[in-house]
Amino acid sequence: MIASGETSGLDRIFICMKHTVSPFLLPDLFFAGRAVLTFNNDTKGTHMTVKVKQVRDRQDRKKKLPIFFVSISLLGDKEQGMVFAGTIFQESGHVKLGRNVDPTSRLARALAFLAQAVKDPSILRANNVSFQHEGRCCSCGMALTHPSSIPVGFGPDCLKSKMKDPDFANMFRLTFPDFKY
């Protein structure tokens, strides 16, 4: 029996599901390979949905490159929907706008904000921005069906693979201290 005011590990998972993902997981989710994330600016009452896809080598399709194509759908943009915004190079942090993207447009500013947030996730909190993932594994793109996988953003197999990276493992354990994988 759990005393009043206390929560079990399972309860914490369901509480977490009702809330957004920790901002400090953004780099891992963003650069996982196939993320679909929705960012909400609670102050302005706006949101944007972002699709991130990792580039694969042309000769060896199994080899993933540290290059990510980013498409963005901005709130209130009823004409275009999801638009290719540009490319983010993971190792250098360099951002290259898409061909027809005006550097002064909302789309370009959104991509620049994303690039900054991936480098320093604390700017999400500073700007009162939260985010959620689509309910699919941010690494392989498969639907997340296990209740404990949904708040994490990774399926069990992809999470085991990600946990081999000591930096990710440390951040994950700090964010989800009671998670059993």
pLDDT at position 178 is: 79
pLDDT > 70: percent of the chain: 86
Region 30-42 average pLDDT: 91
With 90 as the cut, is the pLDDT of residue 87 above it? yes
With 90 as the cut, is the pLDDT of residue 124 above it? yes
Region 34-41 average pLDDT: 90
pTM exceeding the 0.85 threshold for the entire prediction: no
Q: Which two tokens stand for residue 18?
A: 């009702």
Buried b (16+ CB within 10 A) or exposed e, 91-106: eeeebebbeebeeeee
Region 35-40 average pLDDT: 90
159-179 pLDDT per residue, tens: 999 899 898 888 888 888 877
With 70 as the cut, is the pLDDT of residue 61 above it? yes
Q: What is the mean pLDDT of the chain?
A: 84
pLDDT at position 13 is: 35
Helix runs in the chain, H state only? 9-18, 26-30, 106-119, 122-126, 156-162, 166-175
Angstrom distance (rounded) from CA 68 to CA 152: 21
Higher pLDDT residue, 21 or 5?
21
